Structure 1
C-alpha cells in the first residue's frame, strides 16, 4: 500500500497519495496489461486492457489517483443503502493527467464518478482538483 501524507488547506482537506510515476505508462495500466499478458498472451493484452479501462473506468481512475480532496457529503436519495461523499481527485491514467469528482463510501470504495476532465500536466490536474466544488 502506498504511504499517505494528510495535509490541511484553506479550501478543505486533501491528501497526497503518491509522488512518483514511472515514465509514460502509469502503474495502474502497466499492472493491468501485465496481468492480461500472463493470462491471454502479449498480442491480446493491449486490446483487452482498453476494454477493461472503458468498462471499469471509475475503479481505474480511483486507483490511479495521486491526490484527493474531500468536498462534502453527496445528496443521496432517501432510500439509499449507504451514504456517499464527494471526493475530488487528480491522477494519471494511461499516460494522461485528469481531474475527477468521485462518489466514495465510508470504506474508501468508489461507487461512481460525476465528472472527469483531462489536464495537460500534473499541475493542471492538481489545480483542477483544488478548484473543484
Structure 2
C-alpha cells in the first residue's frame, strides 16, 4: 500500500519532528531556535530531501584537484513553510555535497520557474 503526501505536508512533518525531538532533549523554549540552527548547519541535506523537482545543469568544475566528480543540480521544493529554489553540488551516488545558491520564492510557480531558468 502506498501513502502519498503533498510536498508541504511531508516537509512540515519533517520540521515538526525535528522541533519535537529537540524540545524533548533541550526543553520547550529551545526547540524552535535549535531547529533553525540545525537547519542552517545541515542546509544541503534538508534542501535535497525537501526537493520536489530537479534539473541537471552540468558537471561542477571546482577549484580543487580532488578525484570526486560532482554535478550541479537545480532543485525546487517546500521547506519550513517556504517555497525555494537551490543549486546543489551532488556526488555520483546522489548525495548532496554542498549548496551553491539558495533562494526563497513567493510561490510554487516562481520556484519552478527559477529552477527552469537556473544556469
TM-score (norm 1): 0.76
- Coordinate RMSD, CA, aligned: 2.3
Q: 1:66-113 CA distances to partner (integer Å, 9 max, x unpaired)?
A: 111111111134621310000000011211111010000011111111
- Alignment partner, residue 87 of structure 2: 101
| Structure 2 residues not aligned, in runs of 5+ | none
Question: What does residue range 17-32 of structure 1 map to in structure 2 within 5 Å?
Answer: 19-22=6-9, 26-32=12-18
Q: In the comparison of the two structures, how many residue pairs are matched? A: 117
Greater share of residues in strand = 1
Question: What does residue range 102-121 of structure 1 map to in structure 2 within 5 Å?
Answer: 102-121=88-107
1:126 corresponds to which of 89, 112, 115: 112
Mapped pair 1:82 → 2:47: no
Greater share of residues in helix = 2
TM-score (norm 2): 0.84
